[in-house]
Structures are given as structure tokens and as C-alpha cells.
Amino acid sequence: MTTPLNDALPAVEPIDLTRSKTSSKTIMSVSLTVITGFFTLLVLAPLVAVVFDVAREGLPRLGLESFTELPPPPGLTDGGFGHAIVGSLITLGIATAFSTPFGILAAIYLSEFGRGSRVAYWVRFSANVLTGVPAILAGLFAYSLVVATMGNFSAFAGGVALAVLMLPIVMRTAEEGLMLIPHEVRLAALGIGATRFQTITQIVLPAALPAIATAVTLALARAAGEAAPLLFTALNNNFWSTDAFAPIATLPVLIYFFAIIPFRAQQELAWAAALVLLGIVLIVSIVARLIARQKKY
């Protein structure tokens, strides 16, 4: 009796194609995760290094007198930069008061009324060009527009210069946030009888508040550390001043001057002032996030 062919051949296990595909996807996913994490750490490394260096140099000099006293004369060590903190807050407040309303109104026009129009195209193009303009040119513009007209340096002129830098950031970021609101939301509001003004002010803008808060935060972070525009506009002041129409001290200018002075006390104050400037930007970011979260939920 002959043996069947099937009985003579060895048994072959079937290949599990599903398991093979799953294994390949897992390997690819893990590889991409590792690569992404590596490059994320690579990007964060300079930021961590800067913050660590500023904190290491600035913390030993930071104290109560740093916020309440004036800078020391050359040769002395006791003093602070409280007047520069006040001046920076005043200048940034003026810049925010100018840039935020105009930026948000421009963003509303671009996203709600000017979609696809040539006017909107040229407004966006101008904003993109203005984003890349060097900060010192904004200072020269504010100098010719405000300082030369008023005849003196002032915090107001510094605020105008910083507003020029903040405006395109507020406008473009707020526009992106408004564009993310689904068009169906606007149609639903109009369908139940709301006017276009009510739809924008009571539905679209509140929904886009996180993006608007982010826009203002990014603009403040950009403007807070600029020294070149303030050298042409706010100049400097070695004394306490809250007059918006007089020269005023600011943290970036104080850091610039004290960093190049060959006195150890002033250089230490420059590090401490840089740490305070980082803290101001951090506080503004946290407040913006809290406002957005409360409105969201």
C-alpha cells in the first residue's frame, strides 16, 4: 500500500501576517517616539541652559532691595532696580493698550468680513513683513513719529515702538484662533435670530479667547526683552518716575547698560534684572492660561 503524498511531506505552520504587520507598526511607532523625544530635548536644551544660567547668576543678588532701591553709584554695592521694573510695566501697558485692540479688530475683519478679498491679502502680507522688521527700525519709526514731534524721550514713545512689534503677532495669532471656530457655529447663531454683531461678540470671540490670550502673551514675550527700540524712545532714567511723557528706566535697557559697565555690582544687578524679566514673562503666560481655562470651562 502506497503512502499518500500529503502524509510524506512535513507539516508547515501557517504564517501569521497580522502579527507581522502589528510588530512592524510597533517598531515604527517606538522608533518615531524616540526620535521625536530626542529632538524635543535637543530644542529644550538651550532654553533650560539659559534659564539655569540666569537663575544661577541672578538669584544670589536678588533680594528685597532689588525691588525697592535705585541702582548704586560706581564703587558701591548696595542698590536695586525697582524703578526699571515700574518703567517696564508702564511701557508694556502702553504697548498692550495700543496693539491689542487694533490687532483683535484687524483679526476680526480678516476672519469674518474680508475672507478672500484683496484687501485682506495685503493686510496679511503687510503683517508678515512687519513681523520680520528689525526691532531697531521700530524704534527709529517711533522716534521720528513721537519723540521728534513731542521734543523729548518718554515712556509713551517706548510704548508706541513696542506696539509696532506686538501688533502683527496679536493680529495673526488671533486671526488663526478665530478661523478655528467652525463656520457652522456662526450659521447656527444667525439661524436662531442673532445679528452678526452678536454672533461675533458673544459667541465667536469668547470661543477664541484662549487663542487671543496666547496672542497677547506671545506679543508681550517678544516686546518685553527688546532694548533697541527703547534706546531711541524711552531712553533711560536713574530715578523713580511714573510719568508716561518723560524718560523712564526699563529692564532691557538697564540690563544692556549694566552688562557692559566694568563694575561687579552693576553686572550682578544685570543678572538679577534678567531673572526678574523672565519672571514677568512667566507670570503673564500663567495669567493668560488661567483666563483661557476659566472661560473654556
Domain ranges of the chain: 79-270
Question: What string of pLDDT tens digits covers the 297 residues of the chain?
Answer: 455 545 555 555 555 545 556 677 788 888 889 999 999 999 899 989 988 999 999 998 888 888 988 988 876 777 889 999 999 999 999 999 999 999 999 999 999 888 888 999 999 999 999 988 899 999 999 999 999 999 999 999 999 999 999 999 999 999 988 998 888 888 898 888 888 889 988 999 988 888 888 889 889 988 998 999 999 999 999 899 999 999 999 999 999 999 888 888 889 999 999 999 999 888 887 877 776 665 554
pLDDT in the model for residue 297:
41
pLDDT in the model for residue 194:
87
Q: What are phi and psi of 70, to 5 degrees?
A: -85, 165
Q: Contact 201/208 with Cβ under 8 angstroms?
A: no
193: left (phi over 0), alpha (psi -120 to 50) or beta: left
How many Cα atoms are found within 13 Å in the side-chain-facing hemisphere of 19?
3
Domain range 79-270, CATH class: mainly alpha
pLDDT in the model for residue 264:
87
Of 150, 168, 290, 143, whose CA–CA distance to 229 is shortest?
Answer: 143
